[in-house]
Chain A
Amino acid sequence: MNQKYVLSLTVRDRPGVLVRVAGLFARRAYNIESLSVAQTEVPGISRTTFVVTGDESSIEQVEKQLQKIINVLKVINHSEAKYVDRELMLIKVAVTSLDERTELRQIAADFRAKIVDVHQNALIFELTGDEGKVEAFIEQMRPFGIIELIRTGKVALTRSAEDPKVKKSVLAAKAA
């Protein structure tokens, strides 16, 4: 049975590591729905969040294989513990009248989306939220005419209550 998984990988910022990760997903016929990568607080270490769909029976094997990649430091399968996830979207919407402009501003305020670019025929909104919120906003924008949009894909962190060990080590370092 196919299922959706949110996996976070802490990786060394070295060429080739994402190729190996992507290759592994492909070999096991996992589809990558979204992927975000960026530096962490430690120089040279990046954190990636993958949203993949694939076979339920092989996810554990995929995690172990990911862990074997030399430059993968840590693999977290978020379905195993509560987590917080967000994504960011930039969406460019057509505006043809003052009424529309007012209406769009109102919807944006409801969603707590920010206007980041203004043009006589278009507005760009920035929205952060979980998948549901992002998708609801897209639906609201549709009737106005979406010119283009981009989403970062999910980023995720395990909730602190589920991960007490890590927290303790940081607190200890702070105390020292």
Chain B
Amino acid sequence: MKSRELDAPSRAADRAAGPQNQGAAFVRQCLALTEMEMRKLRHDPTELVTRALQPMLWLAVFGEVFSRVRAIPTGGSLRYLDFLAPGVLAQSVLFIGIFYGIAVIWERDLGIVHKLLASPAPRVSLVLGKALSGGVRGLTQGFAVYLLAWILGVGIKWGPGDLAGVALAILLGAAAFSTLSLIIACIVRTRERFMGIGQLLTMPLFFASNAIYPISIMPGWLRVLARLNPLTYEVDAMRALMVRGGSTIFGMGFDFAMLLVSSVVLAAIASRLYPNLAR
């Protein structure tokens, strides 16, 4: 038994750290964090079910009623319910992402954040791992919204390219909002303050977007806000990809570029701030 592990080749510090090795390690570390979240969900999937209820209410109640009264012009030939479905999907991804910081604050009140930050995983990989798991949660919302929208007779595009595009938009949107949430968590640090800010932020993000009405009917100041809001680009891309007859206003390439840029910028800020949580 004495010194049985001493000669083992596995002391982490002694292993070679070539550039490919580092790339592979980075991906593995990201995925390890995502896996951590997925395993938690598998133990307790109730969260996914309760989360799916809200978009269902929006579609089945709000959507159905406003389709009937035709109070909101869709800016094109789309039925209101068809116009709304991508907006509701994006909204549910936003809600999942924006409250992500709560989990991070919980991990900080325990010593989990400390241990993650004292591990060799680069800060960026920790942040991206979290962002990706937000995306996977978002995809589960996608299933729920697609299912209900289909039952309600929304004209859904089932092409594999369209579905993949929506999945990518969900992943990027979730990444942007969960990293935004992480940034807020790093700044406010306590659960109570976070809840306050989270509530304060979600509604403006939601209403200052094209999720439930087109930008064309907004007053000028709101248009400016909507153009700065990543949710707008997520919805705009999804509207063309998810429903028959839907189209983008800003162009698919521009939408995805904006989503990517906001995710990258937010992830860069979050990786800078994340170490503060352990101080």
Chains A and B bind each other:
no
Spell out B's residues near A (CB within 8 Å).
none
Spell out A's residues near B (CB within 8 Å).
none
